[in-house]
Amino acid sequence: MQRTLFIIMFCFSAMIGTSQGVGIGTLVPQATLDIRSAATNIFPSISIKDSSNKGLGIVHFSNIDFPGKFIEFSGYKGQPSSAETYLHIKSDSALIATFAGNGFVGINNGEPKERLDVNGNMNLSGTITANGVDGLPNQVLMKDINGTLAWGNPNGPSTDQNNNVAIFFATTSGAVQNWPVPAGVTRITIELWGAGGSGGTHSGGGGGGYARGNFDVDPGKSIDMTIGLGGVVGGAQVNGQQTSATINSNTIIAFGGLKASESFEDGYPIPAGGFYTVTGSLFRNYTGVPGESGTATTEMPAQYSATEFRLIKKIGNGGDAGNSNNTGGRGGQTISLLPGGLFDATRYAPAQIPGGGGAAQSNAPGAAGLIVIHY
């Protein structure tokens, strides 16, 4: 009996109670519960262990003047034994936050899957930095060429770098051209148009495709470009050539429009306009507009009077290039008297740069492509 009493007295000798509070490791508690450690290598601590299957303990805060209202911390462990542990902070009305043992944090989310996993809306005061960099006015968060989150402008540079423009036309030989990136320029927007396809006797050629991309660049490095040529006057019908530019191992391409077909067996198919793409790494900061298809030539007889008949022939137009208006060649119209004789006609108009398809005239050429660099 004496030994039992000694053990009880020893256990409570370190815990002192006063009218102000309870002290552990101190004779003068300064709070309702004041825990201190005199050892230099031991921090004051509280250990809570729950004997239930999943719980790890609860710290509950409430006030008798507000029955039913509370905030509490609760530990929880999933099953099996290797499952994650969680610390939930919740109130009587909502799950406020969850801290997972793997370092993930959930806001209104009991099972966070990322370092910060928010279920609901956010209201932010201040700024957001992406990899230590703050954005400029009118920029948005996007992934750069390396797949890293960065500030950028989907419609082109939003810094002072976009005040300059360089324009490149096709050479007669279609040779490769290059543009050295000027000093201080680290980002460009490039626009490309493919060449238009040749027109034929039954339809106009397709317009060249349009492509636009935003690229990070290194000052002093050169960008290699090839600008597509259209058809040749009086020569065989040809498809419009593609226009391309290679930047940091990525090649952005605007394809040329297709030539008009003279194949009766194929039913004189309407030639399609060119498309656009980017080859190389997983680059996604680009967009484009397909070129317009050529239109077919149509004929329609009409009775003008009791004795006069006419044949109205609307000659097919070439397709406009992507993101461009009125670049396709215009075929015009003829009105003939039946059984023979020309009565009236409107003039043919050639295709225009960039990338217009040739009109429905015999081997009417498509227009060449174009490149515009904003920096």
* Residue whose C-alpha is closest to residue 209's, from 192, 231, 230, 229: 192
The answer to whether residue 90 sits within a structural domain is yes
Min mean pLDDT across 6-20, 25-39, 150-164, 237-251 is at 6-20
How far apart, in whole angstroms, are the C-alpha atoms of residue 72 and residue 60?
4
User: How many percent of the chain have pLDDT more than 70?
Assistant: 83
Residue with the two structure tokens 């936050």: 97
Return the bridge partners of 269, or none: none
Q: Which residues pair with 346 in a beta bridge?
A: 333
Alpha helices (runs of H) in the chain, residue ranges in sequence order: 2-13
Please check whether residues 229 and 305 belong to one and the same domain.
yes
Is residue 134 a part of any domain in this protein?
no
Q: pLDDT tens digits for 89-109?
A: 998 888 889 888 899 999 998
In this prediction, residue 29 has a pLDDT band, given cuts at 50, 70 and 90, of: confident
Better-predicted residue by pLDDT, 262 or 201:
201
pTM of the full structure: 0.56
3-state secondary structure of 23: strand
Indicate the range of 1-5, 35-39, 48-52, 83-87 predicted with least confidence: 1-5
| Least confident piece of the model among 36-45, 214-223, 286-295, 354-363 | 36-45
Structure-model confidence comparison of residues 331 and 207, the more confident one: 207
The set of residues, in sequence order, having a beta carbon less than 8 Å from that of 344 and lying 6+ positions away, is: 334, 335
Going by C-beta distance under 8 Å and a sequence separation of 6 or more, which residues neighbour residue 208?
193, 194, 195, 196, 228, 240, 243, 254, 255, 256, 257, 273, 274, 291, 321, 322, 354, 355, 356, 357, 366, 367, 369
Question: Do 306 and 225 belong to one domain?
Answer: yes
Q: What is the structure's pLDDT at 8?
A: 40
Considering the domain architecture, whether residues 261 and 372 belong to the same structural domain is answered as yes
Alpha-carbon distance of 43 to 251, in angstroms, equals 61
Choose among 30, 26, 368: nearest CA to 195.
368
262 by Cβ neighbours in 10 Å (0-12 / 13-18 / 19+) ranks as middle
Nearest to 151, CA basis, from 139, 159, 161, 160 = 139
Mean pLDDT (the chain, rounded) = 83
269 SS3 class? coil
Closest CA to 231 of 329, 145, 150, 106: 329
* The pLDDT of residue 73: 85
Are 88 and 187 within one domain?
A: no
Same-domain check for residues 225 and 373:
yes
Please tell me whether residue 7 adopts helix, strand or coil conformation: helix
At residue 2, the pLDDT reads 45
Measured between alpha carbons, how far is 274 from 178 in angstroms, rounded to an integer? 23
Q: Contact, 144 vs 157, CB < 8 A?
A: no
Mean pLDDT of 60-85: 81
Residue pLDDT, tens place only, 285-297 = 899 999 999 999 8
Position 317 pLDDT exceeds 90? yes
- For residue 258 the two structure tokens come to 């297709």
Assess whether 219 and 360 both reside in one domain.
yes
pLDDT recorded at residue 141 = 84
Could you report the per-residue pLDDT of 45-55, keeping only the tens digit for each? Answer: 777 776 665 67
Say if residue 158's pLDDT is above 60.
no
- Please tell me whether residues 166 and 225 are part of one structural domain: yes
Query: What are the tokens at 168?
Result: 């490149």
pLDDT in tens, 140-153: 888 765 678 888 76
Q: How many domains does the chain have?
A: 3
The reply to whether 190 and 215 lie within a common domain is yes
The predicted-structure confidence for 323-340, as pLDDT tens digits, reads as follows 999 999 998 888 888 887
Ranges 144-158, 163-177, 356-370: which has the least confidence? 144-158
For residue 170, tell me if it sits in a domain: yes
Confidence grade of residue 236 (pLDDT, cut at 50, 70, 90): confident
Q: What is the largest CA-CA distance in the chain?
A: 140
pLDDT in tens, 299-314: 888 888 888 888 888 9
Which of 315, 318, 316 lies closest to 258 in space, CA to CA?
318
Q: Which two tokens stand for residue 96?
A: 């406020």
Q: Looking at the DSSP assignment, which residues form a beta bridge with residue 247? A: 250
Query: What domain range includes position 84?
Result: 48-123
Based on the domain organization, do 269 and 364 belong to the same domain?
Answer: yes
Q: Tell whether 1 and 75 lie within a shared domain.
A: no
Claim to verify: residue 34 and residue 113 sit in the same structural domain: no
Same domain, 233 and 104: no
